[in-house]
Amino acid sequence: MIQDQYIGKQRFQLASEAKRRRYHQSPSNAKVIDWAISEIKRYIDQGPVLDLACGNGRHTKDLVSGSLMVCAGDISFAMLKAAREHLGDDKAIRALRLDAENLPYPDGAFEVTFSARFFHHLPEPVRARILGEIFRVSKNAALVTMKKR
C-alpha cells in the first residue's frame, strides 16, 4: 500500500542499512532466537517454512532442518543480497523479495511462519496488517519475536 508506507519500509531498502545490520547477536537475543527456533521446529512436518523479514538470513539456515523448503523473504534488495551471500547455494532455501503487507501466497501456504526482530520497527496499524498476513499464510503456527520499545 503505497500511501501507507512507513519510514522503515523505505529505510530497509538502503544498502547502508543492510551493512549496518549484523550477523552476530547479543547473548539475550541469541537465547530468545534459540528458543524460538526450537519451538517452531515442533510444528514443521516437511512442508515449506516462511522466514519473513529475513534480513541478512542469519536465522534462515536454522529453519531448514525438518523442512523441504524455506522461503526467506524481505522487502529490501540490499538485505536479500546479503542473505544470498550468507546462505550460499542451499537448494532448500529460496530468497525472495516480499512485501509483508501483501504476501503473494494462498491461505495456509506455509506450515510455519517465523519473523525475528522486525515488528518493533513498525507502527501499530502496519503490525496489525502484517500479523493478519502472517496468520493467513500459516497453516500450523506463526512465531514472531520483537524488542520491547
Architecture in CATH for domain 2-21+40-145: 3-Layer(aba) Sandwich (3.40)
Candidates 80, 50, 81, 83; CA nearest to 67 is 50
Domain residue extents for the chain? 2-21+40-145
Side chain identity at residue 67, one-letter code:
S
Beta bridge partners of 139: none
Average pLDDT of the chain to the nearest whole number? 81
pTM of the full structure: 0.79
Residue labelled with grid coordinates 537475543? 29
Which of the pair, 134 or 45, is modelled with greater confidence? 134
Residue 67 has pLDDT above 60, yes or no: yes
Secondary structure class of 84 (helix, strand, coil): helix
The dihedral built from the CA positions of residue 73, 78, 79 and 84, taken in this order, carries a sign that is positive
Side chain identity at residue 120, one-letter code:
H
